[in-house]
Structure 1
Amino acid sequence: MRLVDFLSNNGSELLVKTWEHFYISLFAILLGIIVAVPLGIALTRIPRVAGFVIGVVGVVQTFPSLAILAFFIPILGVGQIPAVTALFFYSVLPILRNTYTGVKDVDKDLIEAGRGMGMSSWERIKGIEVPLATPIIMAGIRVSTVYLIGWATLASFTGAGGLGDYIFLGLNLYRPDYIIAGAIPVTILAFLTDLLLGRIEHKLVPKGIQQSEKAA
């Protein structure tokens, strides 16, 4: 009954909190894609540096999320900016690692064929390497996005809003209805976003690769 009462009294606010949670996560993952995909491609050109860079990013991701949030608050203040910045750091590793692996493992014969056709390095990246690596890159983006939607509950500590407000308020007040009202939309949001990214992946992956995967 408490949950029903909560929804009847806070239904509109719940929608606002869900939207806040979504765009905080979305902004962070978009920043991660913008940084990690080009960096992953660039690292395939300098493999000696790749291991070091990916290792450093991996170490950063092992830092406790609350510690990263606390680190950025004195620099960026409170609100959504420190929350998005902290989530951005957590988004980078899966996307970077998958982009590097996917592009690096593209069949070298295909790259040589492109070079033999007179394609420039940029044309080979755009026309051969990235399209063939898209399934692996998208896998990293999907994993990172699902994680970020869950981690975005911690944005409540910086006053950024989102569904974490309900979860932590429920913990402080010993109100399970608040906790459930925050946790269930997070789960649904992660599930729906993953489905949407799956559809986007299906559109981006070349049909030849999809057919070969089905045949395998």
Structure 2
Amino acid sequence: MANPKEVELLGLWVSPFVRRVEWALKLKGIAYDYIEEDILNKSALLLRLNPVHQKVPVLVHAGRVVCESFLILEYIDETWKQIPLLPRDPYDRAMARFWASVAEGQLLANAWVASCSEGEEQERAIKVATEALGHIEGVIKGKAFFGGEGIGYLDLAIGWVAYWLPIWDEVGSMKIFDPAMFPATAAWTGRFIEHPVIKENLPPRDKTVVYCRQKRSQMLASKSHA
């Protein structure tokens, strides 16, 4: 068990990238100190710890700094061996990383763009995101979790789909995540979000919707002035 002072996490309450790191820490029972960041007014600490990207999450463990949520997940898994997140088999590990990359680059990126855009731009983003979700559906079909019988690395990587994607659909007046079209994914989201560690560590929905609506308005306004 880590001493709280040994592990610090710089984050933002609404960030799915930060939450996946928190889920990993809590699943493994690792004590940590959480430091909330104001992304619009970045602290000197954040700029010092992550001068390259200047983003959260940032994990600090015994003075060592790790940035980027996927890298942090792997660092956590390799540092604290209890409740392994990544599969032991090298091929299965490679596939978990591959599908995490697909979900991040094609599904998440385009779902976010779609939620903050209109017209043809939104339609294109919805198309790519929906196609990516179809691939994810094929991976989870017939399984309780991506990690098998319990939550693993890929579940944490794609966990945002269970909570943030329906919100983004609502904010963008769109429908990427259709449970009728993706029944296996829908069943997985239900199991995932009801897990005590996940359920107890989600941002308030109402507050998240307000935040995302504000972001949509800001991005649409910036495009109109471009």
TM-score, normalising length: structure 2: 0.30
Structure with the largest fraction of helix = 1
Is the radius of gyration larger for structure 1 or structure 2?
A: 1
TM-score, normalising length: structure 1: 0.31
Structure with the largest fraction of strand = 2
| Greater relative CO, 1 or 2 (CA 8 Å, sep 6+) | 1
